[in-house]
Amino acid sequence: MLTLVYMFSLVDRQIIGILSPIIKADLGFTDSQLGWLKGFAFALLYTSVGIPLAWLADRFNRVRIIAISLVVWSAFTVFTGMATTFVGMLIARIGVGIGEAGGTPPAHSIISDLYAKEQRTSALAIYGLGVPLGITLAFVTSAVLVEWIGWRGTLVVLGIGGIIFAVIMLMLIDEPQRGQMDLQTDQADLPISIRASLSILSTIPSWWGMCLGMAFVSFGSYAVSAWGTDYVFRFDANYIAGTENSKFQSYMLVMAVVHFIGLGFGTYLGGLLAERYSRRNVAAYAWVPIAAILLGAPCLMLAFWVDSVPLHLMFLGIYITLSGVWVAPCFAAAQTLVPVRMRAMSTAMFFLILNIIGLGCGPTYVGLLSDMLMPAYGELQSLRLAITSLAVVYVIGIGFFLLAAKNLRYDWPIES
């Protein structure tokens, strides 16, 4: 059930990136404006509001917090579909970010109270399947609805669906006892302040290595996710919705399959690999993401320089699969490296940093750079060059994961 909530989160988060070429044609936005909508507008309050909401989740009913948050971000998704100006859509996207801030931190905390440390990575990997499920649903919904009811109607339908699901969730999920899987139920009743949480995190260098490593690789993956559809539409106009003999639906369905199978498999595989190899060396939680980056980043670069859409999709599919591998090890580390009572806070801090750097800056950076390069290189080549420049963030990400690998054996809890 929590995985499905996360799925709705990803649908409402990613749908703007998928629909952006259509929105640009309808409302006349620039790449820079689209970059703000895809990135920083959403991340601005998503990151900052997550801290106080996590503080509440470490003290009050987490299921209710998630349900209320789902209603809020779904309602603002409806408002996004009603927006007629850049400012109106900007405010609506900020609202979606505020709502989604209350989703993942309490969900991670609940999962950690349902599964022992040894099974937690796999459980979080299953929760992480909400990412491929959400992106898949976003592409499928676009394929089915956009040419029927337009981009506005598509957003309204998705928002209403999220509100209905929030009601169902409240009826089906119970609040678990805190710390019941870590033999720390006595400690679970002791609140930890935000200041104390930051103080504790400052003493865990591997937490920062995992967090910043994922943040920088997410800079690249969020940017690619936000601008991939724009690139294909500029590369070949036959993929634009509404054109004669349009390949729009086929492209959307192919991307849905790539994310459902590729990203879903990669996410679960990352959890299995980290759990298996960490039994011998907990540094595997960092080495598994490093291996995925070394294999995946070159495929990403190739995807935007090949001379056909099918080849682009092939290399992009390999990258998308490998990009799922680092998700579960990073999330598991964020939960296991901290005390029980600050797990929601740990996730909120993790997402604060990840989303400021990744979600906030990645799509925005590509949009701004594309606009800067467009007068000299044209609409297609400017976007291609902007995406190619992302190579450097993957090198930085590997550096932080190496830092985590060095320190994990010292920071990892010894007692179950």
With beta carbons less than 8 A apart as the criterion, state whether 169 and 293 touch. Answer: no
pLDDT per position as a tens digit, 113-131:
777 766 767 787 788 788 8
Closest CA to 332 of 386, 397, 286: 286
Instruction: Tell me the mean pLDDT in the region 6-27.
Output: 87
With beta carbons less than 8 A apart as the criterion, state whether 391 and 301 touch. Answer: yes
pLDDT band at 178; cut points 50, 70, 90: low
Percentage of the chain exceeding pLDDT 70 = 93
Q: Write phi, then psi, for 200 (nearest 5 degrees).
A: -65, -45
**348 in a structural domain:** yes
**269 in a structural domain:** yes
**184 in a structural domain:** no
Looking at per-residue confidence, does 314 or 246 come out higher? Answer: 314
- Does the pLDDT of residue 363 top 70, yes or no? yes
**Residue-level pLDDT at 381:** 96
Distance of alpha carbon 142 from alpha carbon 253, whole angstroms:
9
pLDDT per position as a tens digit, 265-284:
998 899 889 888 888 888 99
**Residue-level pLDDT at 179:** 61
**Residue-level pLDDT at 347:** 76
**264 in a structural domain:** yes
pLDDT band at 191; cut points 50, 70, 90: low
**Residue-level pLDDT at 416:** 36
- Does the pLDDT of residue 184 top 70, yes or no? no
**185 in a structural domain:** no
The residue segments making up the domain with residue 225 are 2-179+193-411
The domain that contains 374 carries what CATH number? 1.20.1250.20
The total number of structural domains in the chain stands at: 1
pLDDT per position as a tens digit, 39-87:
887 787 777 787 787 777 777 788 888 899 999 999 999 999 999 999 9
- Does the pLDDT of residue 394 top 90, yes or no? yes
**Residue-level pLDDT at 292:** 96
Residue that the structure tokens 């296991």 belong to: 336
**187 in a structural domain:** no
- How far out from the chain centre does Cα 341 lie? 24
Q: What is the mean pLDDT of the chain?
A: 86
pLDDT band at 180; cut points 50, 70, 90: low
**318 in a structural domain:** yes
Instruction: Tell me the mean pLDDT in the region 1-27.
Output: 86
**Residue-level pLDDT at 331:** 83
Distance of alpha carbon 120 from alpha carbon 181, whole angstroms:
10
pLDDT per position as a tens digit, 305-347:
999 999 999 999 999 999 999 888 988 888 788 877 777 678 7
Distance of alpha carbon 286 from alpha carbon 386, whole angstroms:
28
**Residue-level pLDDT at 389:** 96
Strands (E), 137-207: none
Helix, strand, coil abundance in the chain, percent, nearest 5: 85, 0, 15
**188 in a structural domain:** no
Distance of alpha carbon 270 from alpha carbon 289, whole angstroms:
8
